[in-house]
Structure 1
Amino acid sequence: MARVIIVSNRVPIPKSRGASAGGLTVALRDLLTPGTVWFGWSGRLSADPSLQPAIVEARGVTYATIDLKAETYRGFYVGFANGTLWPLLHFRLGLMQYRQEDYDDYLSVNRLFAESLRTMLQPDDTVWAHDYHLVPFARMLRQQGFRGPLGFFLHVPFVPPSMLEALPVGRELVADLCAYDLVGFQTEEHARDFRDCAQRLLGATVRGEWVRLNGRSMRAFADPIGIDAEGFHQEAQRAENDSLVKRVAGSLAGRALAIGVDRMDYSKGLPQRFEAYGRLFERHPEHRRQVHFLQICPRSREEVDEYRKLRIELDRLTGRINGRFSEFDWTPLRYSARAAPRSTLAGLYRIGRIGLVTPLRDGMNLVAKEFVAAQSDEDPGVLVLSQFAGAAQELTEALIINPFDPDAIADAMHHALIMPAPERKERHQALKEKVFRTTAQAYCARFMDALLSIKAQSIPRVAA
């Protein structure tokens, strides 16, 4: 029986019935049917990891994991994936650090993934790999003899040739992506940038979405990721009775709530957002004492220097803004580095008058879609959205801003706070229709239909 094999850096093994699901789990939920296999790293480090995957079965889904060596993990994950590729793909060349030994570890882990997964594969399996950690994986798996359909989805942005050329192994990575049969991107802009890289850097032939290189063809297309919009909307309605949500609502004392929810990362535009909130009170002083800003920002990747520096900068900005504007009965900025359950976030979005989603660069940003899905039709909040988030290509009825301009963000917040109810409702209904159409289910269906269509055409495979 044909199976779908999901491959990702980490494997989200269900730990308990009440465990919260991560973003990729939510996006791929419709694929997690009996017979599906999810393969990747266990999260454990070992001095002598085995090639044989450890197996956990849950509701008919097989979760297969392997351990990594500590030194290899650091070069693969901290070094190349997040010290080189992450800043490059988010247009931050000044933060990119390249070391050949890190790239060697990156290749080594991809080779280990391919060798280990090959022991489990059946001839009619379909493999779908995810994100920038696994760019060379298709080539490695082909070298192991696998001839089935291979798909890849990049959850982060892609860059044009002029930027990719800054990476010493940029051409190799483009060639590795061409070893997949199908590569999905969040937006057509990202897909076009990849096709341009293949054409200009490798001499590939490009016709529409199809790229031909070294005698074989692959397809690069846009497939925007979504959420379970109806499910999240219902969760937000239920969460109005969540104890934390009720405490936050009560603490507002009739003031409006602006909310931002982001992983602590320099791509999210958090210092600019904090600066913009301070500018709001300078440019529009009538909003003093009338609004609270809640920023939820769980810490991540603190082994990377830039993330530690960001945390220090946000602590400084929080103190400066509250020190300058707060009064005895009003603290304008609430900033928490603790994660919150998904259900609680849904409830907080629902009571938000403003959703602040202002990344400097983002593949999609599902917080924007969650904020829209959580809103009440009768009294909806307003989404302030960066033009450089993939979501801005769809959610054009949001207040679209340049995240590098704190004054523009401040003016958009002012616009949101004074926006009449009829305009808020009109914008919300248009946004809601889009969010409920481009769902996670639609995302999975589009990708799998496209991948199986390529299989049916018997596209020539890359040589081993």
Structure 2
Amino acid sequence: MTSAEADTSARTSGRLVAISNRTAAGSESKAGGLAVALWETLVETKGLWIGWSGRVLDFETARVNYVEEEGVQFALSDLSRRQYDGFYLAYANSVLWPVMHNRIDLAVFEADTYRNYRSVNEKFARIAVQEARQEDFIWVHDYHFFLLGRMMRQRGWQGRLGWFLHIPFPAPDAFRAIPQHRELGEAMCAYDVVGVQTGKDLYNLARYLEEEFDAEELPDGRFKVGERTVRLLHCPIGIDVDAFVKASTCEDAQLAASKLDRFLGNRQLVLGVDRMDYSKGLIQRFEGMADLFDRHPDVHGHISFTQIAPPSRTVVEGYQQLRQQLDELSGRINGDYGDLDWIPIRYLARGYDRDEIAGLYRAAKVCLVTPLQDGMNLVAKEFIAAQNPDDPGVLVLSQFAGAAEQMNEALIVNPYDAGAIAEAVYQAIHMPLAERQARWRSLMDGIRSQDLVWWRQRFLNAVPADAEVPVLS
């Protein structure tokens, strides 16, 4: 058995049971997202992955669909239209997502959507208790499932139970804006370990538990909350570095880079790659590039900014407005600064596969990763992994990205400051080779030492194999 003996056989005995909103079932490649993080341990422990099937029905059903791939079993549940709209669109992505990203102004608080959120958490808790064995390690993922652990405990689950929050945990006052925050906060404490991306997230969560529930801090990051003891774990997620290095020079990567090179000519590429989301700072980034063109006319015709931003959650009003703003802003900037033979901004509202993106990273002189708030942001780490060691590009990184905590050798900027973005890009495109190489080597060492395997092992080893868990009423 490899992978640190399958992460100590998912902590001494039993399978790894993963629970997430979306799974890797049916994926031709397990090369992205949670799949690459979990797959090796799932395969080696003959594990189980529970999640949504991706199907939305006109009616509610309790039926579970079973699929097996490489010895890993998937237990997949359909959602009804009411559940999907209430749980996923309305509560997870119109309450939790904006509040956790400090955009309370965009949150839509409606009581009936929380009922749907509870009902879907109950649905997956029921499946998990039915399918899991007491010796298994259950690892729940992300903001979709605040309540699931407590619901499992109430159904009699006494096994090991962990939850990882991939997005930020905000300051306590922001989290309290959620009308149901106390129920969410109390439910978190049903997990044995709660993992977060950054030291700031850990601080915010600890403060919230202390202020709201009089939590008592114990050694080793543990907090006593009522009759429960929960460990809070700083556990920044990494990437599969070697896989991304390899992807950056594969045939598809080289083809994507050559297509873009025909447009670039001798111009230097400034690149952004983000899902279209208001948390990513795309409006501010475009304004920063406009400021660069204002401040430094010498770059006109010599650089090209390409932003890849595939749309997401297109039925949510805030995302529709963002798409319209980006369309208008890119058009205005190109109209103001462009010339017959130069388009300052190429804005591509579509997705590309991982290998193609890796090729574009390698071709880029500068990568702009400037979210207004982000749990981690793996684009920053992927860009570094994809670089040519002999001629690496420069990472411009928001101080509000979780990755900034680990990647100090990037050019760190305030994403709300257009002038700071402009000057960082100008510094990056004029940075001497020796400095670029030194910064890149340090960043590369960092992402190798805390890669995806390190993240997985750190989390799985955080829960003692002999944890004693009281059943909640």
TM range (shorter): over 0.9
Q: CA deviation at 1:23?
A: 1.5
State the alpha-carbon separation in 2 of the partners of residues 202 and 143 from structure 1. Answer: 20
Corresponding residue to 2:407 among 381, 386, 395 = 395
State the alpha-carbon separation in 1 of the partners of residues 339 and 297 from structure 2. Answer: 14
Corresponding residue to 2:333 among 321, 340, 356 = 321
Q: Are the equivalent residues in 1 in contact too, given 2:252–2:355 (CA < 8 A)?
A: no
Q: CA deviation at 1:60?
A: 1.0
State the alpha-carbon separation in 2 of the partners of residues 81 and 393 from structure 1. Answer: 26
Cα RMSD after superposing both structures = 1.4
Structure 1 counterpart of 2:267, one-letter code: R
Q: CA deviation at 1:240?
A: 7.3
State the alpha-carbon separation in 1 of the partners of residues 298 and 139 from structure 2. Answer: 52
- Map residues 310-349 of structure 1 onto 2, 5 A cutoff: 310-349=322-361
What is the SS of the residue equivalent to 2:21? strand
**Which residue of structure 2 aligns with residue 85 of structure 1?**
96
State the alpha-carbon separation in 1 of the partners of residues 36 and 278 from structure 2. Answer: 24
**Which residue of structure 1 aligns with residue 116 of structure 2?**
105
- Give the TM-score, by structure 2 length: 0.94
Q: CA deviation at 1:459?
A: 3.6
The answer to whether the aligner puts 1:440 opposite 2:452 as a matched pair is yes
State the alpha-carbon separation in 1 of the partners of residues 62 and 164 from structure 2. Answer: 25
Q: Are the equivalent residues in 2 in contact too, given 1:110–1:134 (CA < 8 A)?
A: yes
The answer to whether the aligner puts 1:461 opposite 2:470 as a matched pair is yes
Q: Are the equivalent residues in 1 in contact too, given 2:292–2:423 (CA < 8 A)?
A: yes
State the alpha-carbon separation in 2 of the partners of residues 380 and 462 from structure 1. Answer: 54
State the alpha-carbon separation in 1 of the partners of residues 346 and 41 from structure 2. Answer: 38
Q: Are the equivalent residues in 2 in contact too, given 1:90–1:362 (CA < 8 A)?
A: yes
Structure 1 stretch displaced more, 240-249 or 63-72: 240-249
Q: Are the equivalent residues in 2 in contact too, given 1:139–1:179 (CA < 8 A)?
A: yes
**Which residue of structure 2 aligns with residue 357 of structure 1?**
369
**Which residue of structure 2 aligns with residue 23 of structure 1?**
33
Q: Are the equivalent residues in 1 in contact too, given 2:61–2:80 (CA < 8 A)?
A: no
- Map residues 146-165 of structure 1 onto 2, 5 A cutoff: 146-165=157-176
Question: Which digits, 9 at most, give the CA deviation of each residue in 1:127-147, with x for residues without a partner?
Answer: 000000000000111122111
What is the SS of the residue equivalent to 2:114? helix
- Map residues 208-357 of structure 1 onto 2, 5 A cutoff: 209-239=221-251, 242-357=254-369
**Which residue of structure 2 aligns with residue 33 of structure 1?**
43
Structure 1 counterpart of 2:188, one-letter code: L
**Which residue of structure 1 aligns with residue 80 of structure 2?**
69
Are the structure 2 counterparts of residues 181 and 173 from structure 1 closer, same or farther at C-alpha, using a change threshold of 3 Å?
same
Q: Are the equivalent residues in 2 in contact too, given 1:239–1:245 (CA < 8 A)?
A: no
- Map residues 47-62 of structure 1 onto 2, 5 A cutoff: 47-62=58-73
Q: Are the equivalent residues in 2 in contact too, given 1:87–1:96 (CA < 8 A)?
A: yes
Structure 2 counterpart of 1:463, one-letter code: L
Q: Are the equivalent residues in 2 in contact too, given 1:51–1:115 (CA < 8 A)?
A: no
Q: Are the equivalent residues in 2 in contact too, given 1:84–1:96 (CA < 8 A)?
A: yes
Structure 1 stretch displaced more, 199-208 or 280-289: 199-208
Structure 1 stretch displaced more, 114-123 or 233-242: 233-242
What is the SS of the residue equivalent to 1:329? coil
State the alpha-carbon separation in 1 of the partners of residues 37 and 109 from structure 2. Answer: 31
**Which residue of structure 2 aligns with residue 407 of structure 1?**
419
Q: Are the equivalent residues in 2 in contact too, given 1:123–1:148 (CA < 8 A)?
A: yes
State the alpha-carbon separation in 2 of the partners of residues 392 and 364 from structure 1. Answer: 8
Percent identity between the aligned chains? 42
What is the SS of the residue equivalent to 2:462? helix
- Map residues 156-175 of structure 1 onto 2, 5 A cutoff: 156-175=167-186
Structure 1 stretch displaced more, 194-203 or 263-272: 194-203
Question: Which digits, 9 at most, give the CA deviation of each residue in 1:6-49, with x for residues without a partner?
Answer: 00011221343xx4744222232332314111101111122444
Question: Which digits, 9 at most, give the CA deviation of each residue in 1:225-244, with x for residues without a partner?
Answer: 00001110111022576322
Structure 2 counterpart of 1:425, one-letter code: Q
Q: Are the equivalent residues in 1 in contact too, given 2:59–2:81 (CA < 8 A)?
A: no
**Which residue of structure 2 aligns with residue 375 of structure 1?**
387
Question: Which digits, 9 at most, give the CA deviation of each residue in 1:50-92, with x for residues without a partner?
Answer: 4342111111111110011111211111111111000000011
Are the structure 2 counterparts of residues 15 and 167 from structure 1 closer, same or farther at C-alpha, using a change threshold of 3 Å?
closer
Q: CA deviation at 1:462?
A: 4.4
What is the SS of the residue equivalent to 1:450? coil
Structure 1 counterpart of 2:103, one-letter code: R
Q: Are the equivalent residues in 2 in contact too, given 1:179–1:462 (CA < 8 A)?
A: no
Are the structure 2 counterparts of residues 308 and 241 from structure 1 closer, same or farther at C-alpha, using a change threshold of 3 Å?
closer
State the alpha-carbon separation in 1 of the partners of residues 172 and 27 from structure 2. Answer: 42
Q: Are the equivalent residues in 1 in contact too, given 2:49–2:75 (CA < 8 A)?
A: yes
What is the SS of the residue equivalent to 2:396? strand
Corresponding residue to 1:421 among 389, 413, 433 = 433
The answer to whether the aligner puts 1:200 opposite 2:211 as a matched pair is yes
**Which residue of structure 2 aligns with residue 136 of structure 1?**
147
Q: CA deviation at 1:174?
A: 0.9
State the alpha-carbon separation in 2 of the partners of residues 349 and 240 from structure 1. Answer: 13
Q: Are the equivalent residues in 2 in contact too, given 1:158–1:193 (CA < 8 A)?
A: yes
Q: CA deviation at 1:191?
A: 1.2
State the alpha-carbon separation in 2 of the partners of residues 125 and 369 from structure 1. Answer: 32
